[in-house]
């Protein structure tokens, strides 16, 4: 039988045992209800690292934080200028693209758009729409299969197999379309007139035996 200790007898616990008891007590879930989640802890850590990086950089740059901000602004400006220059060069040298961006329009729609653009003096749009009218007309007649991914060169090559009498002019028209639409070459009234004449000639041509 174990007898209870008198109430006035002190109970002593060594330091290590007290620490273990405190850790065991504080590990209970009721003490961690308001602790930040994993995502919040990661974000805090990243914020601290960025703050340390910014502080280190500001001490290395003349002028401190203000000098660092000026340097960052200059770098952003340089990046924008380079992006604009590279983008312009890329647009000028990009490969010829597709003939159609919207296949819902008919050949008559494209011809009307070309005539309206030419009347307004916008010969770039007139050349683009007239070439599309030519190709769309060939599709409507069944000379060309209606393909959404066809380029101007492919359209001229495929049409030239069936219309050998205008094969060379079709190739010239395809290059003109690419130069104006994708190469940003200025178009003239003569360019549109040449395409309009070819469009009329193609409409009169009868498909022959494919070459």
What is the pLDDT, as a whole number, of residue 205? Answer: 87
Q: What is the mean pLDDT of residues 153-172?
A: 93
Phi, then psi, of 171 in degrees rounded to 5? -65, -40
Tokens of 114: 């070309």
Q: Are 114 and 129 in contact (CB under 8 A)?
A: yes
Q: Are 142 and 133 in contact (CB under 8 A)?
A: no
Q: What is the mean pLDDT of residues 7-35?
A: 59
Q: How far is residue 31's CA from residue 38's CA, in Å, rounded to a whole number?
A: 17
Q: How far is residue 152's CA from residue 48's CA, in Å, rounded to a whole number?
A: 56
User: What is the model's pTM?
Assistant: 0.55
For the ranges 6-10, 96-100, 111-115, the maximum mean pLDDT occurs at 111-115
For the ranges 23-32, 57-66, 173-182, the maximum mean pLDDT occurs at 173-182
Candidate from 31-35, 88-92, 182-186, 207-211 with smallest mean pLDDT: 88-92
pLDDT, tens only, 43-94: 888 778 777 766 766 666 566 566 656 667 666 766 765 565 555 444 444 4
Helix (H) or strand (E) holding 155: helix 152-162
Candidate from 51-55, 90-94, 106-110, 200-204 with smallest mean pLDDT: 90-94
Q: How far is residue 37's CA from residue 40's CA, in Å, rounded to a whole number?
A: 5
Q: Are 126 and 117 in contact (CB under 8 A)?
A: yes
Q: Distances from the Cα of 90 to the Cαs of 80, 176, 210, in angstroms?
A: 15, 19, 37
The answer to whether residue 8 scores a pLDDT higher than 60 is no
Q: Are 160 and 166 in contact (CB under 8 A)?
A: yes
Q: How far is residue 152's CA from residue 159's CA, in Å, rounded to a whole number?
A: 11
């Amino acid at each position: 039988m174990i007898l209870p200790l008198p109430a006035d007898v002190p109970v002593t616990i060594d330091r290590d045992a007290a620490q273990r008891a405190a850790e065991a007590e504080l590990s209970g879930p009721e003490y961690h209800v308001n602790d930040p989640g994993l995502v919040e802890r990661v974000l805090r850590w990243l914020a601290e690292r960025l703050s340390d990086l910014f502080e280190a950089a500001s001490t290395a740059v003349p002028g401190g934080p203000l000098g660092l901000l000026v340097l960052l602004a200059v770098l952003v400006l340089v990046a924008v200028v380079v992006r604009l220059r590279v983008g312009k060069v890329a647009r000028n040298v990009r490969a010829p693209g597709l003939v159609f961006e919207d296949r819902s329009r008919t050949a008559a729609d494209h011809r009307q758009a070309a005539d309206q653009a030419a009347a307004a003096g916008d010969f770039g749009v007139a050349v683009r729409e007239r070439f599309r009218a030519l190709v769309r007309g060939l599709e409507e007649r069944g000379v060309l299969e209606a393909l959404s991914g066809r380029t101007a060169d492919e359209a001229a090559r495929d049409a030239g197999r069936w219309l050998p009498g205008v094969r060379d002019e079709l190739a010239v028209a395809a290059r003109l379309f690419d130069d104006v639409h994708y190469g940003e070459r200025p178009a003239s009234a003569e360019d549109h007139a040449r395409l309009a004449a070819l469009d009329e000639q193609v409409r009169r041509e009868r498909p022959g035996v494919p070459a």
